[in-house]
Homo-oligomer: A and B are copies of this chain.
Amino acid sequence: MIRKKVKLAYITNDSSRKATYKKRNKGLMKRMSELSTLCGINACAIMYSPYESQLEVWPSPIGGQQVLSKFKMILEMEQRKNMVNQESFLSQRTVKLLNEKISNIDKRMDAFAMAPLYTQRASSSSSSSMVALPLMTMVMPKAMPRIGTEDIMQSDVNNMDPMKRQQWIMGLMNKNNNNNPQTQVGGDWMMFQFGDNINPNNGH
């Protein structure tokens, strides 16, 4: 069991590359969750792995909803305050971006639910028609709770989200009613991670 000094180059062997990917990706997620709790950062991660054929949400899809709702709420509060400054402009753009992202994910999930595009072996990287799906990770500093808007944000989750996001969440929930942090939804991998909700010791 002599461990080599980790040769930093592409692992040609398919199975060992996949194994490395899974291990290291797991470690990466744990690290992110730790950074999240330690430094007070809300983390939301969506991941599409080329090595997995399932979609994973961690620790729960609801957390992602909450992060996004929170972010939207922040924007709307700013608008109510008529703060038409650069900050609100920037956050508007960001919220728009996040909404598109969610819509995008929603579309993806529909597609994958209908017909899995990636019935993919680890060695299928030579497929010419395959377009790699991106792994996306978002971590956002939770600076807002200090301004006393937690309750409003909470209600926001329940009654003011666009239908597509609700559908997206419901689509996840209908297929996954357990509390298992790794829930399989179908066709791809997706992960969410939040500094508020995580139990950082569940991996050990």
Contacts and interface: CB of A to CB of B under 8 A. Distances in A.
A40 B86 CA distance: 39
Given A97-B100, A131-B75, A131-B88, A9 B25 contact: no
Contacts of A38: 8-11, 17, 20-21, 24
A48 B101 CA distance: 18
Nearest to A39: B21
Interface in A120-159: 125-144, 146-147
Interface of A: 6, 8-11, 17-18, 20-21, 24-25, 27-28, 31-32, 34-35, 37-41, 48-51, 71, 74-75, 78, 83, 85-91, 93-94, 96-98, 100-101, 104, 107-108, 111, 114-115, 117, 125-144, 146-147, 200-201
Shortest Cβ-Cβ A-B pairs, 5 listed: A137-B137, A134-B140, A135-B139, A50-B141, A91-B131
Chain copies in the assembly?
2
